[in-house]
Amino acid sequence: MRGTLVATSIALVVLLGYALSCAVRPYRDCWLCDGKAHHRSKRNPKLSRPCRWCRSTGKRLRLGRRMWNRARRVHREA
- Write the pLDDT tens digit of every residue in 12-67: 999 999 999 999 999 999 998 999 999 888 888 888 889 999 999 999 999 999 99
Closest CA to 15 of 67, 59, 61, 73: 67
pLDDT band with cut points at 50, 70 and 90 for residue 78 = confident
Q: Secondary structure of the chain: what % helix, strand, coil (to 5)?
A: 50, 15, 35
pTM of the model: 0.72
Local structure of residue 23 (DSSP, 8 states): H
State the maximum Cα–Cα separation within the chain, in Å, rounded to a whole number.
60
Q: Provide the pLDDT for residue 39.
A: 86
Handedness of CA 61, 63, 68, 70 (dihedral sign): positive
